[in-house]
Structure 1
Amino acid sequence: MQISTEAKPYDTINVTPMLDLAYVLLVVFILMTTASVQGLSITMPKPSNKPSTEKHDLKIVQITPEGSLLINGVGVSMAELEQQLLRAKAADAQMSVAIKGDGRSQYAHVVAVVDLCNKLQVNMGLVTAKIGT
């Protein structure tokens, strides 16, 4: 029995690493093109160093983890909230709404209040807390 010692040349190219790279690039491309976030268009206010002397009404709307609404600490339904905001806007056209959404509540409840404020064309702001507090 004879063992051949002469090396045979490779007649094919191993394309597996090249295909792996192509698939990784394809996945990255798909993820980057579909990662565009659809959301609300909000124009952020510019800060001012001069204190405001005007005093306008401020309504605080809280969303509990269960999804119920409170306006200035009093429980209301969405229809009652709309009526109270309409009355407040009629009394003071520059009134503002501060929206405090609980971190455990469903985001849809917060968006519903934001949509209501947009519909009524009321000034609004989202109340946030520092991370770790």
Structure 2
Amino acid sequence: MIGRKMNVRLLDGAELPRYAHDGDAGLDLRITHDVTLEPGARATVGTGLAVEIPQGCVGLVFPRSGLASKHGITLSNSVGVIDSGYRGEIGATLLNQSDETTTLDAGTRVCQLIVMPFVPCELVPCEELTETERGAAGFGSTGIA
């Protein structure tokens, strides 16, 4: 099932992205140029795409799990946010977390774009927040198992 329409501008000879399988949430994005990453290095790469995220939605750019688990390549910021007003090329800052130098060829799928609706909130200043069972208990408050 396809939902909303999204305008896509192809740059640098990029191909239109697609969902790998019916029901997939993410569109695989490919890099337009070769990149070599030394261990611990970062590089910002272009995907050759500019998109028009529908109003009321946000584009979220996630790393590809196979690239991370097999080669230690992930996104340096974990998840990128593309607001509906942005019209520039989608970029991805890759991070090599492995002990080996890795070269990725142009056309390699490096991340995936998920478009989803969001709920804007009106911020209301207050003196107190309502109490909950959890309260202010934060990191690790539910244990490790």
What band does the TM-score fall into relative to the shorter chain?
Answer: under 0.3
What is the TM-score when the length of structure 2 is the normalising length? 0.23
* Higher strand residue share: 2
* Higher helix residue share: 1
Whichever of the two has the greater Rg, that structure is 1
What is the TM-score when the length of structure 1 is the normalising length? 0.25
Q: Which has the higher contact order (CA 8 A, sep 6+)?
A: 2
